Amino acid sequence: MMNNQNDFLSIKEFASKVKVHPNTVRRSIKSGRLSAFKIGSGPRAHYRIAASEVNRIALIDMEDMIRRIIEKR
């Protein structure tokens, strides 16, 4: 199966979907918490993030929320 361009999001698009600031997305990429690939090099390089990462991040956040609820009991 070939990936098309719609399967990938820019930092700004990803940030909008998960409701965080684009700088938060950049920090997550640099720390390795979020998978992305770089297009180009130098200061004009861009990152692309697989659209499936939205679901993965949502699942991680959901697991964290459940863990905190259980710990409070």
Instruction: Kindly list the structural domains of the chain, giving each domain's residue range(s) and its CATH number in brackets, ordered by start.
Output: 5-72 (1.10.1660)
CA pair distance 47, 60, nearest whole angstrom: 22
Residue 8 corresponds to which tokens in the numbers above? 């990938």
- According to DSSP, the residues that pair with 48 across neighbouring strands are 37
Bridge partners, 49 (sequence order): 9
State the pTM of this model: 0.74
Tens digit of each residue's pLDDT (9 = 90 or more) over 9-39:
999 999 999 989 999 999 999 999 899 999 9
